[in-house]
Chain A
Amino acid sequence: MSYQPIRFYQTGTFTVGNRLLPTEERSVQANVRRTNSLNSGHRACQGCGEALGARYAIDAAMEATDRQLVAANATGCLEVFSTPYPETSWQIPWIHSLFGNAAAVATGIAAAMRVKGREHVRVVAQGGDGGTTDIGFGCLSGMFERNDDVLYICYDNEAYMNTGVQRSSATPPAARTNTTFPVGDSAGNRFGQGKNLPVIAMAHEIPYVATATVSELRDLEAKVRRAMEIRGARYIHILVPCPLGWGHGSAETIRMARLAHETGLFPVFEAEHGEVKSVSKIRRQLPVEEYLRPQQRFAHLFKPPGRPDIVARLQQLADRNIRRYGLLDGTEGTR
């Protein structure tokens, strides 16, 4: 495991006080040298998980590459809120081409750097879940298959938030979106087979796949650093709660991400060449209801008379993850 969380339970929070740590263990964000790659002044919503995740991920990648980084961005919230003409929040070379081609554009940048003998310049591609799991999937899979020297980061907020909250293939079952609206007997998004992109990335047997959430930002930084130590195709999937689309308070973003992990609904792990190498353990599994209740997108499950049947099915999904990945302390996964 690339990062061992240090918890200061005596403070009553799960946060790490950087002041209490030796300098070398402090986060990139705590360093005065941090690059502010995604600078302040952008137009993300209050409490935006994606802005937080991108800031940590790209600053960590900048640190890891000695600031020799280029980013390709898919269309989506991150692109729109960061570059309304004539302003840009990006302090790094950055290109936005289309919704579905960020991985391919990044391949082209990496090829250009290689042909020019500038392989020390590294490339990150980034997009939301729509740009990654749906419209950009073909280009992403091609980049994986060729093992191009690109780190692709998916900021997963589980729906098309930029266009006004429509379902994507990353939207969880039972979630309310504007295209899976719970009316009549319908209980939001239907239960499908899921499109588990971290696992699909692992099936490409690329050198590195990791998941992370914005509740463990030190873990995220460590995974980005680890990814930048490796050449070839790498994939990091970050769960980034969206106050607008999920319907939780702006101050609840990090708590939602933590609950997603601690219920088992979003397993946090690292894999190399298709094999899980480490998982972020859960000290005590929380019932999914604790995660679902604070979110308006699941409110229809709890409005009297309620849908305990649906909640039970979601609990089964969480339990399956717990079992598969061995998320509880002292257990082994099967994956």
Chain B
Amino acid sequence: MLKQIEGSAAVAEAVALCRPEVICAYPISPQTHIVEGLGRLVDGGQLKPCEFINVESEFAAMSVAIGASAAGARAYTATASQGLLFMAEAVFNAAGLGLPIVMTVANRAIGAPINIWNDHTDALSQRDCGWIQLFAEDNQEALDLHIQAFRLAEELSLPVMVCMDGFILTHAYERVDMPTQEQVDAYLPPYEPRQVLDPADPVSIGAMVGPEAFTEVRFLAHAKQQQALQLIPAWASEFKRIFGRASGGLTHGYRLDDAETVVVALGSVLGTIKDTVDEMREQGVKIGVLGITCFRPWPTAAVREALAGAKRVLVLEKSLAVGLGGIVSNHVSTSYHGASDDVYTVIAGLGGRAITRGSLHRIFAAAAEGSLEPVTFLDLDYSLVDRVLAREREHRRSGPIAEGILRDLGVVAAKIG
């Protein structure tokens, strides 16, 4: 059914259609509307049987989900940013224990300086935690990926993180096609755990493993993620068969035929990138787009194939490997047949900085001309940076960086965007 609905509400409804049995909620912007929506569905009796637990921290949220999942319940939670970091120990633990928890990450920057707006630093900080990580391009895909996530998680006994851009998607009202309960039930069978805490058949879960077998346990985690590379496209196809629309999969290519320049990105910015590419195509520029839907496992073969004809690759990412450059671009480099010199990193949209078509035109054109630096910070205000550096040269006690920058900037609100 078509609905004009907020992204968070759409995800809440989709998660409810997946019949979660235990939901843990701890508030952090911008994921709050999702768990609020689910809480109302549980309290209103539309989602039952389901336990909705208001916990005291994100660490507890993931820990409660771990207990619930280990006891055989379908468990769900949502978080973002600092919350994801605060639960990090339990995030790794859920994957290590092989518990198929599904979690939404409403992507948001990591402080300090504290910043509630969107980028991908939170999810990408957890890229090696053992979870499958899927990135939604729009609200329809965010909704659809949750349904696929439960199926994938439970088949593989691995947790799945569905990442959607904070505010840009979570708070945007868009038209979505909400599936029916019958469709979801046809796609997602009841949860049959591989391991469960049951007095009728006692097992010990989470025993200590030493050097004699730890490598094997880790290898199996890797092998399962490799298996996911096969299952994700297969289930995206089945999803299309049941729901009638393409969603999910490993990657989305756009106008890649004969593209000499390929822009790679994750998440909602792909919309702006595609618009820009359309305009450049009209001007005769051979440029295309590769959207990464599945970041973990990294789809090496799919990316390599998609980039086979590219002369240069521009990775536009909302994350920064401080001291190195790009996180996504380093992944792309490993999957690109050409020279790593031809992979350009563009760091953009950090902490919610708007990514405009104008800026994209400029940067894509520079890439096509070969005049782009290996690592570029989109729309970086060098004057602000220079003033900080000058202060630091002049005074030992140059003060807090963020405060100094804000003072230099003056009235902030007028300058956002």
* Chain A interfacial positions (CB closer than 8 Å to B): 67-70, 72-73, 79-80, 83-88, 90-98, 100-101, 104-117, 121, 138-139, 141-142, 145-146
Contact = CB atoms under 8 A, between A and B. Distances in A.
B206 interface: yes
A97 B93 contact: yes
Contact of A96 (B50, B60, B207, B213): B207
B68 A93 contact: no
A96 B22 contact: no
The 7 A-B pairs at the shortest CB distance, nearest first, are namely A108-B67, A142-B56, A104-B63, A112-B71, A101-B63, A96-B206, A112-B73
A8 B359 CA distance: 89
B72 A111 contact: no
B197 interface: yes
A84 B13 CA distance: 43
22 contacts: A73-B206, A93-B199, A94-B197, A94-B204, A95-B97, A98-B90, A101-B63, A101-B66, A104-B67, A106-B67, A107-B67, A108-B63, A108-B69, A108-B70, A109-B67, A109-B197, A112-B69, A116-B73, A117-B49, A138-B60, A142-B56, A146-B54
A139 B71 contact: no
* Interface SS of chain A: mixed
B43 interface: no
Contacts of A95: 67, 70, 97, 197, 204-206
A145 B51 CA distance: 17
B400 interface: no
B65 interface: yes
B21 A112 contact: yes
Interface in B200-221: 201-210, 212-213
Given A70-B71, A108-B71, A112-B68, A83 B63 contact: no
Interface string B49-63: 111011111011001
A109 B71 contact: yes
Nearest to A101: B63
A84 B97 contact: no
Given A97-B206, A142-B57, 4 more contacts: A84-B208, A95-B206, A100-B89, A111-B64
B103 to A, nearest CB: 14
Contacts of B55: 104, 107, 142
Interface string B178-196: 0000000000000000000
A152 to B, nearest CB: 13
